[in-house]
């Protein structure tokens, strides 16, 4: 049975929607509209869009706004995708410069139709950003590339600060939630990244409210740490429409603090946990937190 949205969560979402009407947010959205760039903020109906636009942050969605898979939780359109926009790398690099962005997150729909899953395009966007904005850090949030590690290597060769790939939910729910995905394949991708490029932080994200148990979430977090994942985000699943997977439970705010503490007990270097937290939420701040914790850890060992 679908859970009822609690009042406190409605109020949180309402405040973010109100933030979309500020002049800063409207100006930022106008810039995106004029550049014809996609953002996960809009395509995935992110509830933090108002807050992030007012901070001058945005997560760019490259490779179009159409996905080749049919995950039951995602709002991104599922149709036949268009060819990659060859001008997109330069467009994004220019937007990063104009917005004075210091930390750029890049995500994409899954593009199983492309021979390399879009890995080369990810690399070209990061390289374009680096040429025009040498001090900007990048964080690609990549699909699983169907388990082809040579495609992951293409992305890692472009020297991101963080390699992100979302596990999304517990393995017991994959067959009904993540169509076309595989839990072990996602873990293998994150493990391969850490083993071949240990200097690059790895990151993953988890949603609550799809029917998972506390024990299953704990085991999933342990699995992520076992393959060296450094950063974790945990947030509430919100159904984009009545046609998507239903929300079976709304976790109380205090639970997120417990998950954050548990993540640090397991050894994660950064954990962002909250009802409206999404994988790219305050990504730059989480990266800085991880750097600080890593530095402190090295100092203690000395």
**What pLDDT sits at residue 80?**
72
pLDDT values of the chain reduced to their tens digit, one per residue, 302 residues: 677 777 777 776 666 665 556 665 555 556 556 655 655 555 555 555 555 555 545 688 898 866 655 555 555 555 677 889 999 999 999 988 887 788 999 998 888 889 999 999 999 999 999 999 999 999 999 999 999 999 999 999 999 999 999 999 999 999 888 878 899 999 999 999 999 999 999 999 999 999 999 999 999 999 999 999 999 999 998 876 676 778 899 999 999 999 999 999 999 999 999 998 988 888 988 999 999 999 887 787 66
pLDDT given at position 180: 82
Tokens of 93: 């690099």
Element (H, E) at 88: helix 88-98
Radius of gyration over alpha carbons of the chain, in Å? Answer: 18
Could you tell me the pTM of the whole model? 0.85
How confident is the model at residue 230, as a pLDDT?
98
Look at residue 28 in the predicted model and tell me its pLDDT: 58
Give the Cβ contact number of residue 257 at 10 Å.
Answer: 12
171, 220 Cβ separation under 8 angstroms: yes
For residue 132 the two structure tokens come to: 């025009």
Q: What is the pLDDT of residue 215?
A: 98
DSSP, res 171:
G
Which option is the CATH number for 7-301: 3.20.20.70, 3.90.228.20, 3.40.50.720, 1.10.260.40?
3.20.20.70
């Amino acid at each position: 049975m679908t859970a009822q949205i609690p009042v406190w969560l409605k109020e949180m979402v309402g405040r973010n929607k109100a933030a979309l009407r500020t002049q800063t947010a409207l100006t930022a959205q106008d810039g995106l509209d004029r550049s014809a760039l996609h953002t996960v903020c809009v395509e995935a109906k992110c509830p933090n869009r108002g807050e992030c636009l007012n901070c001058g942050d945005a997560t760019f969605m490259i490779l179009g706004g159409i996905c080749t898979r049919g995950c039951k939780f995602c709002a991104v359109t599922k149709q036949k995708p268009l060819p990659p926009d060859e001008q997109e790398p330069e467009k994004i690099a220019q937007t990063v410069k104009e917005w004075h962005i210091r930390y750029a997150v890049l995500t994409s729909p899954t593009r199983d139709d492309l021979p390399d899953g879009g890995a080369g395009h990810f690399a070209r966007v990061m390289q374009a950003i680096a040429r025009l904005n040498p001090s900007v850090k990048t964080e690609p949030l990549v699909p699983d590339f169907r388990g082809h590690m040579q495609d992951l290597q293409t992305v890692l060769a472009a020297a991101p600060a963080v390699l992100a790939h979302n596990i999304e939910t517990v393995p017991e729910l994959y067959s009904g939630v993540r169509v076309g995905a595989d839990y072990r394949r996602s873990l293998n991708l994150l493990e391969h990244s850490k083993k071949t490029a240990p200097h690059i932080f790895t990151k993953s994200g988890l949603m609550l409210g799809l029917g998972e148990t506390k024990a299953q979430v704990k085991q999933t977090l342990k699995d992520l740490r076992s393959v060296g994942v450094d950063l974790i985000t945990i947030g509430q699943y919100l159904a984009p429409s009545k046609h998507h997977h239903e929300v079976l439970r709304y976790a109380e705010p205090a639970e997120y603090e417990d998950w954050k503490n548990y993540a640090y007990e397991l050894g994660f270097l950064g954990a962002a946990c909250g009802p409206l937290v999404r994988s790219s939420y305050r990504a730059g701040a989480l990266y800085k937190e991880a750097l600080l914790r890593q530095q402190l850890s090295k100092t203690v060992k000395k």
